[in-house]
């Protein structure tokens, strides 16, 4: 039986490379489904017992009904569920529960009657979260729309509970999903998989050309000829930091991309990981895997000077100057460091659990320092000659914890220095770099921006959060022509408002508009501090957030799906879609009684992705509202 398992990927740049020391998901066959006459044993209205977890104490002989909230249950696809969906279920164990290897049984309503499925609890994702995954287990075809009750039981623990899932009518499935199918295009180097009626299809010609260019550059820099095609999957939603790699590559490609990054940089980073993996190595520590990709790409999310930028990680020096919007660009005093340098031993052994952007920058800058000091050939020989250390009989068999010790041995063999001495020399080189106030502030806001994006994911889009992202087997999805797992995502007004705020902040980051970026992040965090307790009222905590929510709500009432919003005082410009990926440009003005739509253009004739990071939406932001030509006028109160 072909296994259908959640892909366990360690993201890159946006991504993490797969390494043998990672905590991975158990590789199991799909849950076995058999008919059963047993009806659900508990409902939300049943009498419940509270004091059970997290310790899961000895149980009484009869099943104990627990709160449905004791175990977190998530249904996929994200967002709304519709009749006809093939649904997966995550059952997330309570903190501290001793359930690894134990089986959860699920009773599902189907058009042929109740059926049962089983899955074992295991450690999944980068975070190693304890959960049971039931992949594509519930076929809702033929069921009536409305509430459906799903019963769960843990026979080994004598526990039962239930959940309710609401199915919407199939005819209400929003576009582009009814027409969307998987398609594959081929470039000179690669096989590119995408879903039709998405931005990837709209911009396919430019994407294929860009991919070929980046593969050629990466191959030249690595000195590795590409002997077989790379499969690249374009995702129409954000997952993690926008991309990941295993046997192939997957990257997010969408208009409302709230994880800012230059697509060419991200693709190049991912390709370096593929080529690096083909060159091999006994133990390639995660920090060096990621650092090498950042170094050879020339930046993390964008092109950037690694050593001068990493200098901002050191403590501030006396007489330094902090950036402000009123600071002249020719200020000759150094900028103030952020004091965020991560000790190398800690970074090597704990890489994915340190601050993400700092870890990637520091790792890339370290590779740059080592290559500058010893040359590429000697560095490469060191990197490929790191080997796992033999564990003593009484030590835990945790290979990742031994990575720093393995690096120490290889450093001594190749450069006759230890890790502490390497760190000292590296920091000394960083202290000699020219650190400008602009670079220091850019890094500070970069960290703030991505921390805010992850905070948003945890609260409003948990399936996208990188430590526990819901990543499916894309090849199997293509075989079955399943698109909903990637097309759907949470799209309530609060999601759209916060994502457009983050997208605007990301554009400001890429264009160096730091003051505007800081204000957007301040507004987004003001909302996140109060959400979900205050619901939509949380947006009243900041005037900019309130404006974004009002514009989103107005656009939705007009039949538009907001993708990007630019706002300045009493004027706003929005790029929005309707039934497909074609982008319309809307103009709004604020009067005393609120926002009013001023005009709407027809679909933009050229792709907004044709230009580089310095163009696209960012350039359109600078066009005055009265320069809009054509379109129509519509007043909305």
- What is the average pLDDT across 562-588? 94
Question: pLDDT tens across 594-613, in order?
Answer: 999 998 875 433 333 343 33
Please tell me the distance from the alpha carbon of residue 446 to that of residue 277, in angstroms, as a whole number.
29
Quote the pLDDT of residue 87: 98
As a whole number, the mean pLDDT across the chain is 84
Give mean pLDDT, residues 415-432: 97
Give the C-alpha separation, 226 to 219, whole Å.
7
Quote the pLDDT of residue 637. 26
Helix axes 356-374, 437-460, angle to 10 degrees: 140
How much is the CA Rg of the chain, to the nearest whole Å?
26
Give the Cα separation of 423 and 419 in Å (integer). Answer: 6
Structure confidence by residue, pLDDT tens digits, 113-139? 999 999 999 999 888 999 999 999 999
Is the per-residue pLDDT at 344 higher than 60?
A: yes
Whether the CB-CB separation of 371 and 365 falls below 8 Å is answered with no
Q: Compute CA 545 distance to the chain's CA centroid, rounded to the nearest angstrom.
A: 23
Reported as a single tens digit per residue, the pLDDT across 381-394 is 999 999 988 776 56
| pLDDT digit string, tens, across residues 311-325 | 999 999 999 999 887
Element (H, E) at 474: helix 474-480
The size of the chain, in residues, is: 637
pLDDT digits (tens, 9 = 90+) for 43-85: 333 333 333 333 333 333 455 665 555 899 999 999 999 999 9
Summarize pLDDT for 506-540 with one digit per residue, the tens.
Answer: 999 999 999 999 999 999 999 999 999 999 999 99
Write down the residue that tokens 């560095």 correspond to: 379
CB 104 within 8 A of CB 152: yes
Q: Report CA 459 to chain centroid distance, whole Å.
A: 14
Predicted structure pTM score: 0.84
Collect all residues with Cβ–Cβ distance below 8 Å to 360 and sequence separation of at least 6.
Answer: 13, 290, 291, 294, 300
Q: What is the pLDDT of residue 289?
A: 95
Helix (H, G, I), strand (E, B) or coil at 247: coil
DSSP string for 370-410: HHHHH-HHHHHHHHTT--PPPPPTTS---GGGGHHHHHHHH
Banded model confidence at residue 226, pLDDT cuts 50, 70, 90: confident
CA distance 518 to 449: 9
Categorise residue 513: left if φ over 0, alpha if ψ from -120 to 50, beta otherwise.
Answer: beta
What are the structural domains of the chain?
31-172 (2.60.40), 182-441 (1.10.390), 491-627 (no CATH)
- What average pLDDT score do residues 266-281 get? 90
Residues of the chain above pLDDT 70, percent: 81
Ramachandran category for residue 125: left, alpha or beta (phi over 0 → left; psi -120 to 50 → alpha): left
Structure tokens at 74: 């998530």
Burial (0-12, 13-18, 19+ Cβ within 10 Å), 96: exposed
Torsion angle defined by CA atoms of residues 392, 395, 397 and 403, in that order, rounded to the nearest 10 degrees: -80
Please, are residues 351 and 287 in contact by the beta-carbon 8 Å criterion? yes
The per-residue pLDDT for range 487-509, each reduced to its tens digit, is 999 999 999 999 999 999 999 99
Q: Up-side HSE of residue 21: CA atoms within 13 Å toward CB?
A: 25
3-state secondary structure of 558: coil
Percentage above 90 pLDDT, the chain: 69
DSSP 530: T
Q: What tokens does 353 get?
A: 């659990």
Rounded to the nearest 5 degrees, what angle is found at the Cα of 331, between the Cα atoms of 328 and 337? 110
């Amino acid at each position: 039986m072909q296994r259908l398992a959640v892909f366990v990927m360690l993201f890159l740049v946006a991504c993490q490379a797969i390494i043998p020391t990672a905590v991975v998901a158990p590789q199991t066959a799909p849950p076995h489904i058999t008919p059963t006459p047993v009806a659900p044993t508990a409902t939300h209205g049943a009498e419940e017992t509270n004091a059970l977890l997290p310790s899961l104490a000895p149980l009484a002989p009869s099943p104990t009904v627990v709160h449905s909230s004791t175990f977190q249950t998530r249904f996929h696809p994200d967002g709304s569920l519709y009749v006809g969906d093939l649904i997966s279920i995550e059952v997330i164990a309570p903190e501290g529960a001793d359930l690894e290897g134990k089986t959860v049984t699920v009773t599902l309503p189907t058009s042929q009657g109740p059926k049962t499925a089983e899955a074992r609890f295991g450690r999944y994702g980068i975070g190693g979260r304890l959960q049971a995954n039931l992949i594509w287990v519930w076929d809702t075809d033929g069921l009536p729309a409305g509430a459906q009750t799903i019963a769960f039981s843990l026979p080994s623990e004598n526990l039962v509970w239930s959940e309710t899932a609401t199915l919407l009518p199939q005819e209400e499935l929003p576009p582009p999903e009814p027409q969307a199918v998987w398609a594959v295009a081929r470039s000179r180097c690669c096989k590119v998989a995408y879903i039709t009626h998405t931005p990837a299809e709209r911009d396919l010609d430019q994407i294929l050309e860009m991919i070929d260019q980046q593969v050629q550059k990466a191959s030249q820099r690595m000195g590795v000829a590409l002997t077989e095609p790379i499969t690249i999957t374009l995702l129409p939603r954000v997952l993690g930091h926008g991309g990941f790699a295993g046997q192939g590559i997957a990257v997010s490609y969408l208009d409302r991309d709230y994880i800012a990054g230059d697509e060419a940089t991200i693709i190049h980073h991912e390709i370096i990981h593929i080529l690096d993996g083909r060159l091999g190595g006994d133990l390639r520590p995660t920090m060096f895997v990621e650092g090498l990709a950042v170094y050879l790409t020339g930046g993390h999310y964008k092109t950037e000077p690694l050593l001068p930028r990493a200098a901002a990680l050191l403590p501030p020096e006396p007489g330094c100057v902090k950036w402000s919007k009123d600071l002249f660009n020719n200020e000759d005093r150094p900028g103030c460091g952020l004091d965020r340098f991560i000790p190398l031993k800690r970074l090597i052994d704990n890489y994915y659990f340190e601050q993400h952007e700092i870890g990637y920058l520091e790792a890339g800058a370290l590779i740059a320092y080592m290559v500058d000091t010893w040359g590429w050939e000697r560095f490469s020989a060191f990197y490929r000659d790191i080997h796992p250390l033999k564990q003593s009989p009484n030590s835990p068999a945790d290979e990742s914890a031994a990575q720093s010790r393995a690096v120490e041995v290889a450093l001594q063999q190749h450069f006759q220095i230890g890790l502490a001495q390497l760190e000292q020399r590296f920091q000394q080189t960083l202290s000699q770099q020219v650190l400008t106030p602009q670079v220091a502030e850019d890094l500070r806001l970069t960290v703030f921006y991505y921390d805010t994006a992850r905070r948003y994911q945890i609260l409003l889009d948990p399936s996208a959060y990188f430590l526990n992202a819901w990543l499916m087997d894309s090849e199997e999805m293509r075989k079955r022509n399943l698109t909903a797992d990637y097309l759907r995502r949470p799209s309530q007004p609060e999601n759209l408002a916060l994502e457009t705020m983050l997208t605007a902040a990301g554009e400001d980051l890429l264009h160096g508009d730091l003051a505007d970026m800081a204000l957007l992040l301040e507004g987004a965090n003001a909302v996140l501090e109060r959400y979900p307790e205050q619901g939509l009222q949380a947006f009243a905590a900041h005037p900019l957030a309130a404006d974004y929510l009002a514009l989103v709500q107005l656009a939705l009432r007009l039949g538009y799906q907001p993708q990007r919003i630019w706002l300045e005082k009493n004027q706003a410009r929005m790029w929005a879609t309707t039934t497909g990926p074609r982008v319309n440009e809307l103009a709004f003005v604020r009067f005393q009684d609120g926002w009013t739509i001023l005009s709407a253009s027809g679909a933009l004739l050229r792709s907004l992705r044709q230009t580089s990071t310095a163009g696209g939406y960012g350039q359109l932001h600078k066009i005055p509202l009265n320069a809009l030509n054509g379109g129509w006028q519509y007043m909305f109160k």
